[in-house]
Amino acid sequence: MRIYFDHNATTPLAETVTETILATMKNHFGNASSVHSFGQTAKSIIDAAREKVSALIGATPQEIVFTSGGTESNNLALRGVSGSISTNKTRLITSAIEHEAVLKTVKDLSQQRWNTSVIPVDSDGLVLPEELEKIITSDTALVSVMHANNEIGTIQPIKELAEISHRHGALFHVDAVQSAGKLPICVKTLGVDLLSLSAHKFNGPKGVGALWVKRGLRLSPHSTGGKQERSRRAGTENVPALSGFGVAADIAKERLNKGSHVISQLRDRLESGILDAVPGTLVNGTTDQRIANTTNISFDRVEAESLLIALDLEGVAVSTGSACSSGTLEPSHVLKAMGLSPHRTQSSIRFSLGLGNSQEHIDRVVEIMPRVVDRLRQLSFSGSRQKN
């Protein structure tokens, strides 16, 4: 049995999504910018997808810019918004637990004309509005905070943070890559100005995402050339992937409307199952404001890297930190920002559930965890490594 518990990294395609993409590839190859009927068909496919994606977040289709994914959307938001900002605003604020796509971009921008500030998080992994209040200034151009954190799943108080930003004359960008499809989102209610999302996080294909840009906001395009996406993002559109994106958004919206608790129940059972069966385990981050599918657990006296591999050899796929950060010596910046000890940050595993997971999977994992963890705990190095 192969068990996939890494849905926050990426998700399997929903069946209808795959079918739609294949059908589009086979039957509709036209370039959406062409005048003739082949182009018109392609264009209408994109329009349909745009409608569905905008419906997922309570927006209007014209406000959606299709991109190659969450990273590009974040880049476009942070870099592109300078077109809309007056020159006396020179500060960018973001949180300590953002995805690398935001942090690295902000770091890059800090080498240019921007000053940057970072809002700390508390030990629950929450960005507190009062912390933003403390550091926001009248020269702040943009505040960027993610909706749900990819590593621990905590949901940030976006509405309040956006309000504070606007009061100080700053725009607000929310990275909703991890929350779209998992939480109901309405851009009006959240009161944000920019929102990023990514298809492959909710059973859509990789290679496409979107940036929602509030009507009236001007964006300096990243990619210039043709007039696609209302001249905000040049390049011939990936029509098949976009068709899949639309269908995935549809499916997600329907699932959210139904209000199913299946995933959160599975997650809760997995979490309590592991905490009960394995001594020396703790959940990282608050369990109150959390997306339904995620649990991040630290295992005392175990190297996360080793546990990851051992589980993989047992057919269970999980992760430590963000997929993009593996292969480095740095502990998870998210766990570190929460103030967890280095020992704890390096012994934490993220379990994220989704389409295709069942109670059988939960049972199997809870069954094998004690044995696997025990074997690793018996090795001398797990003690000696922690001496640092």
Partner 1 sequence: MAMSGGVDSSVAAALLSHDGHDVIGLSMQLYDQRDGDITFGNCCTLDDLHDARRVAGLLGIPHYILNFERQFKTSVVNNFISEYENARTPIPCVHCNGELKFSTLLERAQGLDAPKLATGHYAQVTQEKDGTYTLKRGADLTKDQSYFLFSLTQAQLACASFPLGHQQKSEVRAYAEQFNLPVAQKPDSHELCFVPDGDYASFIEKQSPNSGKPGRIADPSGSTLGGHDGIHRFTIGQRRGLGISNSVPLYVTQLDAKTNTVTVGERSQLEKTNLTASDVNWIAGTPPLSPLSLSVQIRHQHKAVKATVEAEGVARAHVTFEEPQPAITPGQAAVFYERETVIGGGWID
In the sheet that holds 294-299, the strands lie side by side as: 281-283, 294-299, 348-352
Query: Pick from 15, 312, 360, 367: which binds partner 1 (CB under 8 A)?
Result: 312
**What is the torsional sign of CA 213, 217, 221, 226?**
positive
- The region of 25-33, 158-166, 252-260, 371-379 touching partner 1 under the rule CB under 8 A is 371-379
Pick the closer one to partner 1 by CB: 107 or 375: 375
Which residue type sits at 370?
A: P
Alpha helices in 28-99 (DSSP H): 37-56, 70-80
Query: Pick from 120, 306, 355, 370: which binds partner 1 (CB under 8 A)?
Result: 306
Q: How far is the CB of 342 from partner 1 (least distance, A)?
A: 12
Q: Does residue 186 have an active-site annotation?
A: no
Query: Pick from 1, 113, 215, 313: which binds partner 1 (CB under 8 A)?
Result: 313
Query: Pick from 166, 268, 379, 386: which binds partner 1 (CB under 8 A)?
Result: 379
Question: Does 388 participate in binding partner 1 (rule CB under 8 A)?
Answer: yes
Pick the closer one to partner 1 by CB: 37 or 328: 328
Query: Pick from 167, 218, 230, 375: which binds partner 1 (CB under 8 A)?
Result: 375
Pick the closer one to partner 1 by CB: 33 or 341: 341
- C-beta pairs of 134-140 under 8 Å, 24+ apart in sequence: 135/93, 136/93, 136/164, 136/165, 136/168, 136/170, 137/91, 137/168, 138/168, 138/169, 139/88, 139/89, 139/90, 139/91, 139/115, 140/89, 140/91, 140/92, 140/93, 140/165, 140/168, 140/169, 140/170
Which residue type sits at 224?
A: T
Q: How far is the CB of 370 from partner 1 (least distance, A)?
A: 15
Binding site for partner 1 (CB under 8 A): 305-306, 309-310, 312-313, 327-329, 375-376, 379-381, 388
Q: Which residues are catalytic?
A: 324
